[in-house]
Amino acid sequence: MSIIRDIPTVGRLPARCTAAGSKQKGSAELSAKRTSLYLIITFFLTLPLFAHSIDPALYESTGSCDVSGNTIESLVYPPASPDQKAPTFTISHTENGTEVTINVISNEDLFSGWVAGKDIWSNSNWDYWWLNTRIATDAESNIYAAVKLYEYSNPSINFDMFVLENNGDINESFLDWNGPGSNPLIVNNPDPNIYIEQPTLDREGAVDSDNNTYLIYTNGGSNIILTKLDPDGTLLINGLNIVVGANAWTNEARVDIAPDGRIYVVWSESLHDIQYVYSDDGGDSDSWSIPTSICSNASDQLCKPQISCDTNGNVHIIWQHGSVLAYMKLLPDGTVSIDESFLTSGGVWSPMMDIDDQNNLHIVWGTGTQGSNSVYYTEINGNLDGGGVSMSDDELTIVQEAPFIVSTDVRYPKCTVDSYMNVHAVYEKGEYGRHHPKAMNYIKMNGVPLLRIVCPDESVLFVEMTGSGTDWEGTFTPPMTGIYSTGVSGSDTEGNTGIDSYVFEYPGTGIESQSHFPVSSVSCSPNPFRETISFSYTLSETGTVNVTIYDMTGRLIATLMNEEQQAGLHSVDWKASDMNPGMYLCRISSGAVSETLRCVIVAD
């Protein structure tokens, strides 16, 4: 038996998150002395559970989300414009023995695939050969796009940066800008920095789990140099030569960081050799390995490498081998998992990639050279192991390469993937060469409607939903009993993405048939509360009782009780003065069955 007792939800009142990631404390305009309990419950049930943190240098305010019943309603990133209407969902679940099906009904038809592109930036007479553009996403799936402002007639070191809605509409514009404190990164404190590379200095970058940023660049190609910044942009390492005499072709070196903190740098040595180095100690001078070659060819050009580390510490590298897209996978110890494999039939120019939370690689490239006329996309299954040998294109790819832009005068596509497997890309459009109109365009590929499931042990499962139109479902086998938090996402034909959450408890196979539950008269008081709440229950027989607290993402917050108790009336207090305002779940279990209550912490 699995029961979740709801505090009645009587309405939805939008609540506004605060700027710069500060915690929402509730509205001072509502007072318990002046408002009925009915309105108090209504207000506090709609407090946002997620603070949409924003750099104060960029924003004045942020978005918010509501809570209604079992569902966290439509969290849209970034804050949606008033006329943008992302899909919303009605969510339920059914249990069938060892399987759980999440049932989702959308208020409009959902769509997966490429949607219409949009103009982000343009100039009618650009005084340079091409545009240098960048795109990236942060941990909250905010999309950042930037374009270099360098011209012969105006050699600016600045760039124009745009924060985009999830459908590509411009949410914020920051023109003629080079980042806080002139550092080539976007600071999103207190959450992780997002580094979109420096479009004016040929610098590439990555951010570690401690929010430090690593910039990799070369001095004319001979040496590879590291600069390291702390979360505030303060220099920690300034201009350290990590590889001397690298002869990196066209000054290109790329960097990424594995989950264990190992820093990888890859480059094309003398245009015919793909090499990498790594550091296990934060990039300090004595921590870098000897350069290792992974592929060399004296007759073919090997250039433009890109590198991504997955959640297991494996290293994925792509590059141009002549005019063909090449791929290799290394295990964390450097062993070759998949040797050089060719993914296209030819015509590749300047491939770029990003990796998603399922370790799949999303790659875009233009055909030909500078005068591309099409932009292609493919997706690689990053969890494969070829045993050290090459694999075929058909074996590697989830999505075979196909053009998503068929036009003239397009080049240099870049892509990023958000937390719900939507692919966002920018590319340059316009005739190659000086004094021609040029533009940066945006396009998005909606992912398949997706379930992101956080298990009781905080492991994450991904399930692609099946269905059509407004009716979708996803079935999975829960690996354990306990409280699950399910994130639901889906996009409409305009590219608007809706996100919702649904929390449920899975009691385990056969539990539904058990009618005897030795715990009764379960209650909590006061509710809502500010500092301390008391959970009371009557135990009909001696048994072990477990009382635990979870937040609305399913994360275990506290264990209040886990011991044998005699029959009778019992209570246990939870002192939550250090917790953020919002809704929490209290699970009281005895044996294989449980009951779950909802409680709300209010602001002082």
pLDDT over threshold 60, residue 440: yes
User: How buried is 384 (Cβ within 10 angstroms: 0-12 exposed, 13-18 middle, 19+ buried)?
Assistant: middle
Closest by alpha carbon to 334, among 267, 400, 393, 280? 280
Place of tokens 């603070």: 51
Q: For strands 170-177 and 204-207, give the pairing.
A: unpaired
- Decide which of 191 and 190 is more confident: 191
Question: 14 by DSSP, 3-state: which?
Answer: coil
CA distance linking residue 535 with residue 585, whole number of Å: 11
CB 99 within 8 A of CB 477: yes
Q: Which amino acid is at 83?
A: D
CB 416 within 8 A of CB 438: no
DSSP symbols for 107-154: SS----EE---EEEEEEEEESSSS--EEEEE-TT--EEEEEEEE-SS-
Q: For strands 118-126 and 113-114, give the pairing.
A: unpaired
> Average pLDDT of 435-460?
92
Place of tokens 């141009």: 320
Average per-residue pLDDT for the chain: 78
Residue 75 vs residues 37, 155, 280, 586: alpha-carbon distances, Å: 27, 41, 38, 24
Q: Which amino acid is at 311?
A: T
Q: What is the CA radius of gyration of the chain?
A: 26
- Decide which of 198 and 376 is more confident: 376
Residue 36 vs residues 39, 253, 279: alpha-carbon distances, Å: 5, 63, 60
- By mean pLDDT, which of 2-16, 70-84, 379-393, 469-483 is the weakest? 2-16
CB 255 within 8 A of CB 307: yes
pLDDT (0 to 100) of residue 193: 54
**Alpha-carbon dihedral 476, 421, 190, 182, rounded to 10 degrees:** 170
Closest by alpha carbon to 352, among 316, 388, 310? 316
pLDDT over threshold 50, residue 518: yes
Written as six digits, the tokens of 365 are 């490239």
CB 65 within 8 A of CB 81: no
Written as six digits, the tokens of 430 are 């316009």
- By mean pLDDT, which of 62-76, 209-223, 572-586 is the weakest? 62-76
Place of tokens 């832009």: 405
pLDDT (0 to 100) of residue 567: 86
pTM of the model: 0.73
pLDDT (0 to 100) of residue 434: 92
Q: Which domains does the chain have, with CATH numbers?
A: 2-112+451-458+465-506 (no CATH), 119-201+356-447 (no CATH), 202-309 (2.40.10), 514-601 (2.60.40.1930)
Strand order in the sheet with 248-257: 248-257, 263-269, 273-279, 292-296
pLDDT (0 to 100) of residue 202: 53
The distance of Cα 499 from the centroid of its chain, to the nearest Å, equals: 13
The helix or strand, by DSSP H or E, that contains position 251, with its residue range, turns out to be strand 248-257
CA distance linking residue 460 with residue 242, whole number of Å: 36
Closest by alpha carbon to 287, among 304, 267, 265, 270? 265
> Average pLDDT of 384-411?
91
How many residues are listed for the chain in this entry? Answer: 604
The helix or strand, by DSSP H or E, that contains position 41, with its residue range, turns out to be helix 37-44
Query: pLDDT (tens digit, 9 = 90+) per residue, 342-381?
Result: 998 778 888 999 999 999 999 999 887 666 778 999 999 9
DSSP symbols for 382-409: TT---TTS---HHHHEEEEEEEEEE-SS
Closest by alpha carbon to 301, among 327, 329, 268? 268
pLDDT over threshold 50, residue 50: no
Place of tokens 């340079």: 128
The distance of Cα 316 from the centroid of its chain, to the nearest Å, equals: 18
The contacts of residue 286 (CB under 8 Å, 6+ apart) are none
Residue 89 vs residues 186, 207, 293: alpha-carbon distances, Å: 33, 34, 50
